[in-house]
Amino acid sequence: MLTGSLSPLAPAAILLLGAFILSVVVPRLPLRWQQHPGVRSYSVLALIGMAGVSLLFIRIASGNEPAAQVISSWNFGMAQPVISLTLQIDTFNLAFFMIVLLMLLLVALLRFEHISVSGQAEDRVRTAGWLFLGAGTCLLLSAADSLALAYVGVAFDTVAVIFGLRLDPRYRAIGAARIFLGVLTTAAILMAGLAAPAGLFLLGLALWLRLGLMPLLEAATLAGWPLNERLVYQGLTLTGGIYLALRVMNEPLPELVRWLIVAIMLLAGLLSWLTSSDESEAGAPSQFRSKILGWLVLAEALLLLLAGPLPSGALVAFATGLLLSWLILSITPLPGLPGKPEQAWFWPYLPAALATLTLIGVPFSLGWLAKVSIYASLLTTSNLALLLLALAAEILGLSGLIRYWLTMVMRGYARDSRWLHVGVLAITPWLVPGVAPFILFYLTGLNLSISSTPPSGAAIVILVAILIIALIIGYRRQMMIAQFDLPAGWLERQAYLLGLFGLGQRLFDGVSRGLLRWRVITEGQHYLGWAIFSALIGSLIILLSSASR
């Protein structure tokens, strides 16, 4: 950009250094320094801002001008390196860096009153955890090749587990499974480049676990987390999972994996339609909205897996519109109709309305390019049953938006922080139809024009039909339940309480622990063997990388 002098690791390094300073350095500063307004109130925002500014000084790679930074290379006696680990920021992953930084900024502003570095130690550690997980996500985004993705994928999942365990001891029920998922993804990426049929199936299975089954099983744990921690964890892990899938998915997934994807999509869509608000719980409307949006974003992310691969412009538009819309809808307060002056409606409702328009794919929004491309890709499949079930899951998921808005208008009240307005103003332009595609094109240079590949009439008909049906079944949910005598409450309780998630967590976690030899790692068995093995591998890497220079 400006000078091209910084490493692609700069955003991750700044966030990681910030996490270290908040958790270790600041508590040891003199009290008068801790009480300084610049340190006490604005240090977290400054660190996130520095990470964003660093993007201006990193050389952005393009198709004609690569800018990869070699971390390590191996030549195996050849004149030129045969294998290398490289990092870079290009026009594709630049949008994902912006998503990560906007997400951290919004959560920091959401909890501005509680991120004072001179406050309670627990608040400092939690805030440092946000930056730590953000650094891990930036590291994943900077990987430039399949080998680097394979390595940093495990590191990313390890960072996510550390964040989850520090936040909630109950995360142990699924922590080993995420570590196993990182190892499985690494093996799948490497095998996909060596053995096409088996490698592609393993890669598809790993992506299905990462974007489908794992978020589904984590739902029970995330439900009890505070809003800010839930947004950071779910948002960053979903961002990393979508980016990883878009980078490595170069051809349609095997049929069996596509059926697995549709199965989770249907379950997520059905739960979005079935989920009801428990009035006996404190903050019931907020919890209800969080569940609805969680199932919706899961179904939409899986839809991308089902339809891929797609043009790079459609992929980036999909990820940007989906993740930023989910963020805005999640943090929008519940003003309710009673007691609110008319001028107070503007800030809560307008950004949420723009996010909704993006999710449903109105023309000239980021969602328009993504939805039309996805439906056009699905229409090329020869499996009619798979297509119909995928569309049914999409309808059920989007029907949750109707109930979201009914909850927004009819119930609840909440105070909104004036600092949160700053974060909302930073994200809102990305959701304005007509403006958002221009911003994304200006910053990344990706081709976002649909004129080169005009949308088919069938894709537009499907888009309109899905929205109409979703509107009907969302608005008339109670009437349909009464008319058809559907045991909606019983079905919801079966999914949440009778062990669907709990049993899945235990099974997945048990298998993961067995395959990873988790007790060997965590309970001190054969530490000497692991130390010798690690030393040999490290020595080999050092020798090979030295010989290649």
**What was the pLDDT predicted at 519?**
56
- pLDDT class for 84, splitting at 50, 70, 90? low
Tokens found for residue 77: 């006696």
Residue 545: pLDDT above 50? Answer: no
Instruction: Convert the pLDDT of each residue in 88-144 to its tens digit.
Output: 888 888 889 999 999 998 888 877 665 555 456 667 778 888 889 999 999 899 887
Tokens found for residue 84: 């290398």
Helix/strand number for the chain, H first, E second? 25, 4
- Looking at per-residue pLDDT, the higher value among 102 and 350 belongs to 102
Say how far apart CA 50 and CA 47 lie, in whole Å.
Answer: 5
**What was the pLDDT predicted at 238?**
92
**What was the pLDDT predicted at 452?**
46
Task: Point out the least confidently predicted range of 208-212, 291-295, 516-520.
Answer: 516-520
Cα-Cα-Cα-Cα dihedral of 337, 338, 344, 346, to 10°?
10
Cα-Cα-Cα-Cα dihedral of 381, 386, 389, 393, to 10°?
-70
Cβ-Cβ contacts under 8 Å for 326 (sequence gap 6 or more): 235, 293, 296, 297, 355
- pLDDT class for 478, splitting at 50, 70, 90? confident
Tokens found for residue 404: 């979201």
Angle at 220 (CA atoms; ends 416, 367), nearest 5 degrees: 60
Per the prediction, the chain carries an average pLDDT of: 77
For 321, phi then psi, to 5°, come to -65, -45
- Written as one string, the DSSP assignment of 61-72 is E-SSS---EEEE
Say how far apart CA 416 and CA 348 lie, in whole Å.
Answer: 9
- Written as one string, the DSSP assignment of 345-402 is GHHHHHHHHHHHHHHHT-TTSHHHHHHHHHHHHHTT-S-HHHHHHHHHHHHHHHHHHH
Tokens found for residue 519: 């007790």
- pLDDT class for 532, splitting at 50, 70, 90? low
Angle at 335 (CA atoms; ends 334, 338), nearest 5 degrees: 135
Say how far apart CA 451 and CA 433 lie, in whole Å.
Answer: 17
- Compute the average pLDDT of residues 469-498: 72
In the chain, pLDDT over 70 holds for what percent of residues?
Answer: 70
Task: Point out the least confidently predicted range of 110-124, 247-261, 299-313, 457-471.
Answer: 110-124
- Compute the average pLDDT of residues 476-482: 78
Residue 536: pLDDT above 60? Answer: no
Contact 23, 125 (CB under 8 A): yes
**What was the pLDDT predicted at 517?**
59
Cα-Cα-Cα-Cα dihedral of 71, 136, 188, 547, to 10°?
10
Taking each helix axis from N to C end, the angle separating 121-141 and 10-20, rounded to the nearest 10 degrees, works out to 160
Residue 262: pLDDT above 90? Answer: yes
**What was the pLDDT predicted at 259?**
92
**What was the pLDDT predicted at 137?**
92
Residue 451: pLDDT above 50? Answer: no
Task: Point out the least confidently predicted range of 321-330, 374-383, 457-466, 490-499.
Answer: 490-499
**What was the pLDDT predicted at 41?**
65
- Compute the average pLDDT of residues 415-442: 79
Q: Please count the other Cβ atoms lying within 10 Å of the Cβ belonging to residue 363.
A: 15
Say how far apart CA 224 and CA 521 lie, in whole Å.
Answer: 29
pTM attached to this predicted model: 0.85
- Compute the average pLDDT of residues 246-266: 88
